[in-house]
Structure 1
Amino acid sequence: MLTPDAALRRILDALRPRAPLQGERVPLAEARGRALAEAVVAGRPSPPFDNASMDGYALRAADAPAPGAGLPVAFDVFAGAPADRPLPPGACCRIFTGAAIPPGADAVEMQEEVERRGRRAIFRRAAVKGRFVRAAGAELREGAVALPRGAVVDAGAVGLLAALGRTEVAVHRRPRVAILATGSELVPVDGALRPGQIRDSNSHALAAACREAGAEPTLLPIAGDEAEALDRALAGAALADVLLTSGGVSVGERDLVRPALERAGFSLDFWRVAMRPGKPVAFGASPRAAVFGLPGNPASALVTFELFVRPALRALAGLPGNGRAVLPARLAVPWAKPAGLTVFLRARARVEAGALWVEPLATQESGHLTSVTGHQALAVLPAGAERLRRGARVSAILVAPPTLDPAAPSDLA
């Protein structure tokens, strides 16, 4: 069996020729969280003109070389108005933040350092050339790359694009994911239950995880444990970049997904990983799409999604890594595990006395949805370990911010 790290490398290597997906143009309001499929070049300098970074007085620095210099106030300059007249020699002007520096001025003094006496301004300190002046092009020169290809658009980048006059931008397409739940025991979430049946929860959980990873999920009709039903369902995934199936990839007599995938043109690379939960996980590809055969147990499906599908979807979307912080942590309770398997415990995470602690949820049963509800981390117990003591060093994949110890001192207080 592959280790989890080796399995992920195989997946990303297989996706490399098709990742990232081609670009599409989207409105600025829809660009956040997407990876740029083009470099964005500044069409004009930023800022476009010299302007004041403080409310105060614009002057020639040479006219106030020492504290106590007094200059007449020639006029006022407000933000949004052009600097349409030069500053007379030996004078200053009242200026406001963002207003254009008038020709002849080369410094601004903040109003707190100026005493106003009628139409004269008395400067409490020597002026310095360039002080509180934002020079044209200081942020970006005309023709400079404002955002490189592949940059992830965050709120600041949205503002920068708006400042550059971009109403739309080219970004890599979101992966389209088809989700197929399999099993004759499953009924839709709004369906009536008969004896022996359960509602399909995996499809909805995986769809939520896909959206959080930046993909566009589509739920296919549930397929029962019959070859013909699986073949019909897989035909509905023709336009997907990624197919996710849950259930039916183990070794039971009714585990028919693997042969159905092969009939649909998928070549499977692997179907077992040395991990818990999620050992029966499969990966493969066809010329048009990748496929992940995830286990049917809810915790196994979501953990394998987190470890393998999430980074794959982000790679297709042009996004870096898995988007998670992986930090050293300490195990809050002792734990025993089988040797040879990497174990991923769903855990709460807290910062205490400068250390990150991970405390496993009360249940780790792979069939329990409560074992994947409300956790903040996956505590990674290494394959070679069998018994870990309290305080043992482990890795933690943070899926949500850790809780901070309220009693701990804070630099922000």
Structure 2
Amino acid sequence: MLTPAAARARILAALSDVAPLAAERVPLADALGRALAEELTAARDVPGFDAATMDGYALRAADAPRAGARLPVAFEVYAGRPAPAPLPPGSCCRIFTGAPLPEGADAVEMQEEVRRAGRGPAAFRRAAEAGRFVRRAGSDVAAGAVALAAGAVIDAGVIGLAAGLGRTELAVRRRPRVAILPTGDEVVPAGRVPGPGQIHESNGPALAAAVREAGGDPVLLPIAGDDPETLARALEAARGLDALVTTGGVSVGTRDLVRDALVRAGARLDFWKVAMRPGKPFTFGRWERTAVFGLPGNPASALVTFELFARPALRALAGLAGTGRVTVPARLAVAQEKPAELAVFVRARVRRSRTGLVVEPLPTQLSGHLTSVAGHDALAVLPAGRARLARGTEIEAVLLQAPPEP
């Protein structure tokens, strides 16, 4: 069996011909979290003029070469308005933060370093210095310069930068469209009363949320029952999308029909088992250009295998690097026992201690329990090769969110 790391590497390599997806142009409001598909360049200098960075007085530095210089105040300049005239030689002007320097000025002195009585001349407490409190034209981004390289993740600061460059839209990598196909005669949609032997289907809504968090657009398909004809019709609805995520039907039971249905539809399956718990019966393959992820039906198995394998693949399709998660060292709060041959991913909560992070497993780790995947903020990785890990053992923890402050 493949190790989890080998399975993830194999998936990413198998998608190298389709990742990242093509570019599209979207309004700034829709670009958050996307990958920039082209260099962000400046059409003009930013800022477009020399500006004051302090409230004070603009002057020629040569007119105040030493402390005590007194200069008449020619006029005032406010932010958002041009100077009314060039600065006369031997004078200064009142200026406010963000206002353009008048022609001829090359320095600003903050008002705290200037004495002035009424409308009289300004007396400077220290020698002026050319460039002091001046933001030069193009000092942030010069015309024609690359403000941000392609591939950067667009956050709030990037959106502000793009707006400051005058952009109303950006070229970004397309979000992968991901079909989610829950399967099984035993599950019914939320809102319908389950019959005897049935339960509410929960994987579809959970995985749709996980797809959105990974940077994709989910397409939640109706539940498909456990018969070949129904599965074949359901799979047709996913044809041509960027990825297909199925849940259930990939193990070895007589009613586990999804793998066969995928093959009959034309998918080429690469592997169908990983040395891990939960999620050992995980399937990956390609259906033409569509990435296919066959997840187990138990809620914990489905979400853990999505996190480890589908999430990094969808991010690669979206042009986003890595998993978007941080893996850190942490210590076990309680001893753990496991099959020595498997890597086990324990759903846990993280807390800070004086010596570092501590992971506390959720009360239940049964993969069929919905509570085993609700409210955890980390996956504690118990490595293969060990059957028992004592309390306090240092392991790796995949953080799903930042640990709480102490």
Q: TM-score scaled by structure 2? A: 0.97
Q: Distance in 1 between matches of 2:8 and 2:391?
A: 29
Runs of 4 or more, structure 1, over 3 Å off, are: none
Offset of 1:332 from its aligned partner?
1.5
| Residue aligning to 1:398 | 399
| Alpha-carbon offset, residue 83 of structure 1 | 2.6
Segment of structure 1 superposing worse, 116-125 or 317-326 = 116-125
Shift of 1:354: 5.2
Q: Alpha-carbon deviations, 1:336-389, whole Å to 9, x = none?
A: 121121111111112222511111111111111111111111111111222212
Q: Where does residue 256 of structure 1 map in the other structure?
A: 257
Aligned residues: 405
Task: Give a deviation string over 1:12-33, Cα, whole Å, max 9, x none.
Answer: 0011110011111111111111
Closer, same or farther in 2 for the Cα pair 1:70/1:354, shift >3 Å?
farther
Compared CA separation, residues 58 and 354, structure 1 to 2 (3 A): farther
Q: Distance in 2 between matches of 1:15 and 1:320?
A: 14
Q: Is the CA contact 2:44–2:143 (under 8 Å) kept in the aligned structure 1?
A: yes
- Range moving further from structure 2, 141-150 or 111-120: 111-120
- Partner SS, residue 17 of structure 2: helix
Once the two structures are overlaid, the 10-residue window that deviates more, 67-76 or 307-316, is: 67-76
Identity %: 67
| Aligned residue in 2 for 1:43 | 43
Alpha-carbon distance in 2 for matches of 1:335, 1:237: 41
Amino acid in structure 2 at the alignment position of 1:46:
V
1:185–1:197 CA contact under 8 A, matched in 2: yes
Alignment of 1:189-208 (within 5 A): 189-208=190-209
Matches within 5 A, 1:7-406: 7-118=7-118, 119-353=120-354, 355-405=356-406
- SS in structure 1 at match of 2:16: helix
State the SS of the aligned residue for 1:158. Answer: helix
Tell me the CA shift for residue 84 of structure 1. Answer: 4.2
Distance across 1 between alignment mates of 2:127 and 2:185: 84
Q: Deviations along 1:291-349, whole A, 9 cap, x unmatched?
A: 00001000010011111111111100001111111111111211112112111111111
- Gaps (5+ residues) in structure 2? none
- Is contact 2:77-2:84 (8 Å) kept? no
Matches of 2:126 and 2:258, distance apart in 1 = 79
- Aligned pair in 2 of structure 1 residues 66, 389: CA closer, same or farther (>3 Å)? farther
Aligned partner letter, 2:376: H
Q: For 1:62 and 1:104, locate their aligned partners in 2 and report how far apart those are by CA, in whole Å.
A: 11
TM-score normalised over the length of structure 1: 0.96
Structure 2 CA distance, aligned partners of 1:168 and 1:403? Answer: 36
How many angstroms apart in 1 are the aligned matches of 2:8 and 2:248? 20
Work out whether residues 18 and 289 of structure 2, in 8 Å CA contact, stay in contact via their aligned partners in 1.
Answer: no
Given that 2:86 and 2:103 are in contact with CA atoms closer than 8 Å, whether structure 1 keeps it comes out as yes
Given residue 86 of structure 1, which amino acid in structure 2 is its aligned partner?
P
- CA RMSD, aligned part only? 1.1
Tell which deviates more after alignment, 382-391 or 190-199.
382-391
Residue 67 of structure 1 deviates from its aligned partner by 2.6
CA distance in 1, matches of 2:70, 2:353: 58
Distance (whole Å) between structure 2 residues aligned to residue 346 and residue 356 of structure 1: 15
Are the counterparts in 1 of residues 47 and 141 from structure 2 also a CA contact under 8 Å?
yes
Given that 1:352 and 1:404 are in contact with CA atoms closer than 8 Å, whether structure 2 keeps it comes out as no
Structure 1 unmatched ranges of 5 or more:
406-413
Q: Give the aligned residue type for 2:370.
A: L
Q: Secondary structure at the match of 1:233?
A: helix
2:160 aligned partner, one-letter code: G
Name which of structure 1's ranges 389-398 and 178-187 shifts more when overlaid on structure 2: 389-398
Query: Take 2:84 and 2:91, find their aligned partners in 1: how far apart are those partners?
Result: 16
The 2-side partners of 1:76 and 1:352 are apart by: 58
How far, CA to CA, are the matches of 1:46 and 1:354 in structure 2? 47
Give the secondary structure class of the aligned counterpart of 1:169.
Answer: strand
Conserved 8 A contact 1:37-1:172: yes
Deviation of 1:125 after TM superposition, in Å, equals: 2.3
- Read off the aligned partner of 1:257 and give its amino acid letter: V
Q: Which moved more, 1:382-391 or 1:247-256?
A: 382-391
